[in-house]
Amino acid sequence: MKLLLSLKNKNVLIKEGLPTLLVDDLIVGLDIGTTKVCAVIGDIHDSQSMNIIGVGQALSYDGVRKGTIVDIEKTTQAIILAVEDAEKMADVVVERVFVGIAGAHIGSINSQGIVGIKGSSHEISSEDIDRAVENAKTAISIPHHQEIIHILPREFIVDEQKEINNPLGMVGSRLEAQVHIVTGAITAIQNIIKCCETAKLKVEDVVFQPYASSMAVLSDDEKKLGVVLVDIGGGTTDVIIFQNGHVVHSYSAPIGGQYVTNDIAVGLKTSTSLAESLKIQYGSARSDLVDDRASIEVPVSGGDKVKNFPQKFLAEIIEPRMEEIFNDIKEQITKLVAIDMIPAGIVLTGGCSLMNGCPELAEEILGLPVRRGPPIGFGGLKEKVQSPTFSTSLGLIRYGFQNFPLHPVERGVFGGLVDRVRNAVQSFFAD
């Protein structure tokens, strides 16, 4: 039996005779990936810094494919295991989470909304800003099976004066809002919420994964200069482009590190689990970086024997798939901007970015400076999450802190959009 008490304005859960702080003063990021589920608990109550107090991981066990949930039961079980591990480490009980979403069903488009300013003073009010953003939303046609995930302000224009961050209180007769809209399949969002609710977790908001990751690994200077974040996960490669501090393009491709693993399994005639281990331990995205004399032992399927392969052969299997990923990214970038308009270059994150030779291959194909993007600006148990594999879950914590401390959202499949838009605008102003 559980009994809720109040102690110094904190909720306390009495469980098995031990007092445990509830998550009211905490923010939880839940990254439901193709290969694994990551849960991270951040404490922001006593400080403006993000202190990590709990981390948990669990394999997805084929519950997620290409970033989309395909097995509710397996995914729910993975969520439960990951969250329980994080709870034990932090000695808290998790009730609410911010969760990431990605996959080929994700769509994005830029839009604009224009309104006239009423009143004799022509002073722009918060209602005028809301109307302009709402008009930008209604100016586009969204397929019936899609739902808006984010409306991200890019800039405001007052009477042809551009690059305005906060038009509130300015005088003008015409206000234009330039926004970036991200959508996702309603069923994909519903399945994420269902898995979390089955695991006894309330979803505060669903967040596009690369947008969350950008909050963990990119600096403000990089966003202002122009930068591309590339999040290479197990089942998807997600791209988000920033210029002048704001999102101008986003994209999710259904290809990631799992494709590399499958290529290795076929090429070396071995199991996918062993192929994943070989990729992590010996893999390289560029074969010319591998010692010609190095070799690896691969167990022969169905027996106790092993077979030797040159390590370069493993890299030659990996390299074409990674070239495919980076060529696709280059195509996405050049659709929108010239390469020389991205002075801050490329930031790689996600588990596959840890592979040897990954930055070098990306730099060769994209013609831009490339760096790996570990999370920045986190305290507490930061040594446990100081890896690109935790970028999304940590970014979800920062997203929650920036958007929801004073503005909790009741979210259904369609609920909470007005609040989320207002939070995004307020965050835009704060930046």
Alpha helices in 31-104 (DSSP H): 72-90
Residues 368-401, buried b or exposed e (16+ Cβ, 10 A)?
Answer: bebbbbbbeebebbbeebebbbbbbbbbbbbbbb
Residue 21 scores a pLDDT above 60: no
Tell me if 347 sits within 8 A of 217, measured CB to CB: yes
Are 94 and 17 part of one and the same domain?
yes
3-state secondary structure of 120: coil
pLDDT band at 369 (very low <50, low <70, confident <90, very high): very high
What confidence score (pLDDT) does residue 320 get?
A: 96
Q: What is the pLDDT of residues 94-143, one digit of tens each?
A: 899 999 999 999 999 999 999 999 877 889 999 999 999 999 999 999 99
Q: How far is CA 420 from CA 149, 178, 299, 331, in A?
A: 9, 17, 52, 31
Cα 373–chain centre separation: 13
Average pLDDT, the chain: 87
Residues 52-83, buried b or exposed e (16+ Cβ, 10 A)?
Answer: bbbbbbbebbebbbbbbbebeebbbbbbbbbb
d(C-alpha 28, C-alpha 31), whole Å:
10
Are 269 and 364 part of one and the same domain?
no
Give 408 or 431, the one with higher predicted confidence.
Answer: 431
Question: What average pLDDT does the segment 193-199 reach?
Answer: 97
pLDDT band at 286 (very low <50, low <70, confident <90, very high): very high
Are 192 and 179 part of one and the same domain?
no
Question: What average pLDDT does the segment 220-234 reach?
Answer: 95
Are 170 and 191 part of one and the same domain?
no
Residue 117 belongs to domain with CATH number = 3.30.1490.110
Residue 255 scores a pLDDT above 60: yes
Are 123 and 20 part of one and the same domain?
no
Q: What is the pLDDT of residues 170-182, one digit of tens each?
A: 999 999 999 999 9
Are 9 and 85 part of one and the same domain?
yes
Give 385 or 44, the one with higher predicted confidence.
Answer: 385
**Which residues are 307's β-sheet partners?**
298
What confidence score (pLDDT) does residue 280 get?
A: 92
SS (H, E, C) 19-40: EEEEHHHEEEEEEECCCEEEEE
Residue type, 255: I
- Please state the φ and ψ torsions of residue 164, each to the nearest 5 degrees: -95, 125
pLDDT band at 24 (very low <50, low <70, confident <90, very high): low
Question: What average pLDDT does the segment 78-91 reach?
Answer: 96
What confidence score (pLDDT) does residue 98 get?
A: 97
What confidence score (pLDDT) does residue 426 get?
A: 57
Tell me if 237 sits within 8 A of 66, measured CB to CB: no
Are 172 and 144 part of one and the same domain?
yes
What confidence score (pLDDT) does residue 8 get?
A: 29
What confidence score (pLDDT) does residue 87 get?
A: 95
What confidence score (pLDDT) does residue 15 get?
A: 35
Are 123 and 141 part of one and the same domain?
yes
Cα 136–chain centre separation: 24
Question: What average pLDDT does the segment 356-362 reach?
Answer: 96
**Long-range contacts from 142-145, C-beta under 8 angstroms, 24+ separation:** 142/183, 143/183, 145/185, 145/186, 145/187
Secondary structure E strands in 95-208:
96-101, 107-116, 146-158, 161-164, 174-185, 202-208
Q: How many domains does the chain have?
A: 4
Are 116 and 167 part of one and the same domain?
yes
pTM above threshold 0.75: yes
Range of the domain at 263: 258-319
Secondary structure E strands in 160-232:
161-164, 174-185, 202-208, 227-232
Torsional sign, CA 381, 384, 387, 392: negative
Are 206 and 74 part of one and the same domain?
yes
Q: Following DSSP, what letter does each residue of 216-229 receive, concatenated?
A: HH--HHHHHH-EEE
Question: What average pLDDT does the segment 228-247 reach?
Answer: 94
Give 21 or 183, the one with higher predicted confidence.
Answer: 183
Instruction: Report the run of H or E that residue 53 belongs to, with start and end.
Output: strand 50-59
Residue 336 scores a pLDDT above 60: yes
Residue 194 belongs to domain with CATH number = 3.30.420.40
Residue 341 scores a pLDDT above 50: yes
What confidence score (pLDDT) does residue 121 get?
A: 83
Are 312 and 334 part of one and the same domain?
no
d(C-alpha 76, C-alpha 69), whole Å:
10
pLDDT band at 2 (very low <50, low <70, confident <90, very high): very low
Lowest mean pLDDT among 184-198, 270-284, 397-411: 397-411
What confidence score (pLDDT) does residue 28 get?
A: 95
What confidence score (pLDDT) does residue 304 get?
A: 74
Are 425 and 383 part of one and the same domain?
yes
